[in-house]
Amino acid sequence: MFNNAGIVDPNKHRIIDNEKADFERVLSVNVTGVFLGMKHAAQAMIPSRSGSIISTASISSYVGGAASHAYCCAKHAVVGLTKNAAVELGQFGIRVNCLSPYALATPLATKFVGADDEGLESIMSSLANLKGVTLKTDDVANAALYFASDDSRYVSGHNLLIDGGFSIVNPSFHMFQYPQS
């Protein structure tokens, strides 16, 4: 089962400008929705003592400042739910994992950033660590297929970062920057 639904709140960078109702709406969909998806998938999978539950988290669950407060909080919660459910459901042979993609051109991301697909890809490529490659929806789909397949039969409780190395770089350090890179 693939939990792949989510919403964002209005793009307000300062916590003091955020509204409680917006925060709660994002958590309701992005956390409670994932929880309910996991719950009902587990109910269906426990009798067969096998299965794979996959949820979409975000690179925002790993690095600060990559999204709004509500979205970041929600995606951290998805990682926590994934780990907790993996511990509980492992006894039934059920694997539980999540994917944390870097920003890619989806309607959700383009609306949040206020750019079209090409503009978003240009922005994200300029910030990316891995140059010459742009994250596409197929990359995330292939990661989900890996978690759904027997190729990952001994992988559970994992948060797979699909970020081209973005999360390993502190952009304030330019130690390894080549003059013409």
Judged by DSSP in three states, 152 sits in: helix
Q: Which of 60, 12, 16, 7 lies closest to 34 in space, CA to CA?
A: 7
Question: Catalytic residue at 146?
Answer: no
Cβ burial, residue 41 (10 Å; 0-12/13-18/19+): buried
Selecting among 71, 102, 154, 178, the annotated active-site residue is 71
Residue 97 has which token pair?
């994992």
> How far apart are the C-alpha atoms of 167 and 59, rounded to whole Å?
7
* Among 55, 66, 158, CA closest to 104: 66
CA dihedral 73, 76, 80, 86 (to 10 degrees): 140
Beta strands in 80-125 (DSSP E): 94-101
In the chain, beta strands by DSSP E: 2-3, 51-56, 94-101, 159-162
Q: Catalytic residue numbers?
A: 71
